[in-house]
Amino acid sequence: MKLLINLCAHDGIISHYTGVGTMVHKYIYMINKILTKYNYDYHLNLITPQYNKDSFGYSDKYCREHSFNTKTSIIQISNGSNGTQNFGNIDNWKELTKNTAQFINQNITKDYDKIITIYNDVPFTNLARFLDTDSKHIKVWVPHSSGLIHNEDEFRQKNSQEQQERIDLELSAVQYINKMPMCYLGYISEYMKDHFVREYGLLKNKLLNLKNGEVLDDIDFVFDDLPKIEKMFGKIKNYDNVLLSFGRAEKYKNHEATLKLGAYLDVKTIIVPQSYYKGQPIIDEYKKLAQKINAIVLDDAPFDFVHYFLKNFKGNIIVLIPSTKEPMGLIVNEIRKYNKDNILLVVNDIPGLREQVKDGVDGVLVNVEDFYNSAVKIKKYYNLKNMRFLKTNAFKTLKEKYNFEKTFENFIKKVVVI
């Protein structure tokens, strides 16, 4: 069987600045591994918005890595911004969708027995509506969030009209998927599956399992901007005990809760908020709060810095995920894959995170707004005996429930025979 796969994403192909990009990178790895394993004749188009080398999030590492395979082509599509806006706004999404559909429709030939188009997240939301209705063409939308979940995030809250337009776009996409054959939604978590069925009216027979997880292979990690990472690490590597949170500099990531909780624990508090642009106001808010408890804010760290820190830090680390909203926390399973005795995983007890952690068994659930009781609970588990117990169970959970190779192989088998 000869397959054509179109993988569309605004991040993870020649850029890396979001969790979406982290998962798209895993998709690329697994597509090549699984299709090679089963001896499929295939070609993979990696379709992404147009980037300039100075575009926000551009990754020379990803660009080189994804250009290496002769079965893979990187296709940059205009979203109308001349490479200045990679995520963009609703006008950019519409332009990107139209141009992407034109490219895909023009490149479908009779040579292929099946075409699979996997399109990720908001910028490609309504792509299926503009693709030719070919009986051998399967379309799978993979939303990594939704407008209804993140209707108050700090970066978008100033434009409620745009937020409503996004929600309307998502509703339109779901309605199209419901009525058209060969169209599906790939869900990244049980929470997201239930959310789209309940809040958007998605039919259950239109769901495909694409739950986020970890590739368990040992893959060499090549760090972008290693000299800067090493210099930054050198300034904090000698602390004995650290409370750490990291992620996008957005209100729902709730980094301020980490700073406040740190005052109740005898540790050095460090947050690594990834800003969207220099001078983002929320960074100043973090820094003012950090000064009160002598905490550290690393707002200019390279995207891979945290993984270098987790891999090389010799002291003890409390990794806190304090998010108030989270469709599926990638950090949970990233920590589990490290399988280290010196890391205690603590997460806020909310949907999207709660499904991933069994409290006191493979992680610790807390109400991060209750600083005193959260600190008491963390101290209970913050010792070598309990951390080893939790780590052992967490790695078992990872292998049994979040083995992404197994999930993606089952997904490929299903879409190939649909």
Which pLDDT score, from 0 to 100, does residue 117 have?
98
Which pLDDT score, from 0 to 100, does residue 221 have?
72
Q: How confident is the model at residue 109 (pLDDT cuts 50, 70, 90)?
A: confident
Which pLDDT score, from 0 to 100, does residue 68 have?
85
**Average pLDDT of the chain to the nearest whole number:** 93
What backbone phi and psi angles, to 5 degrees, belong to 58? -55, 135
Give the pLDDT confidence of 226-263 residue by residue, as tens digits: 999 999 999 999 999 999 999 999 999 999 999 999 99
Higher-scoring residue by pLDDT: 158, 201: 201
Q: Are 280 and 306 in contact (CB under 8 A)?
A: no
Residue 154 inside a domain? The answer is: yes
Q: Give the 3-state DSSP-derived string for 77-141, with helices as H, strands as E and coil as C.
A: ECCCCCCCCCCCCHHHHHHHHHHHHHHHHHCCCCCCCEEEEEEECHHHCCHHHHCCCCCCEEEEE
Q: Are residues 206 and 232 in the same domain?
A: no
Which pLDDT score, from 0 to 100, does residue 85 have?
85
Residue 220 has pLDDT above 70, yes or no: no
Burial class of residue 223, CB neighbours in 10 A (0-12, 13-18, 19+): middle
Number of compact structural domains in the chain? 2
Residue 219 inside a domain? The answer is: no
Calpha distance 286→381 (Å, rounded): 27
Residue 218 inside a domain? The answer is: no
Residue 296 inside a domain? The answer is: yes
**Residue 365's CATH number:** 3.40.50.2000
Residue 329 inside a domain? The answer is: yes
Higher-scoring residue by pLDDT: 330, 69: 330
Average pLDDT over residues 189-199: 97
72: helix, strand or coil: strand
Per the structure, the complete domain to which residue 38 belongs is given by 2-213+403-417
- Record the tokens describing residue 335, joined without a space: 């920590």
Q: Are 184 and 140 in contact (CB under 8 A)?
A: yes
Q: Are residues 270 and 321 in the same domain?
A: yes
Dump strand ranges (E) for 164-253. 183-187, 207-209, 241-248
Give the pLDDT confidence of 26-77 residue by residue, as tens digits: 999 999 999 999 999 999 999 999 998 888 889 888 998 898 888 999 999 9
Burial class of residue 93, CB neighbours in 10 A (0-12, 13-18, 19+): buried
Give the pLDDT confidence of 149-184 residue by residue, as tens digits: 876 544 445 567 888 999 999 999 999 999 999 999
- Record the tokens describing residue 234, joined without a space: 């050198």
pTM over 0.85: yes
Q: Are residues 162 and 254 in the same domain?
A: no
Q: Are residues 166 and 28 in the same domain?
A: yes
Average pLDDT over residues 188-215: 97
Q: Are residues 305 and 285 in the same domain?
A: yes
Q: Are residues 154 and 299 in the same domain?
A: no
Q: Are residues 76 and 204 in the same domain?
A: yes
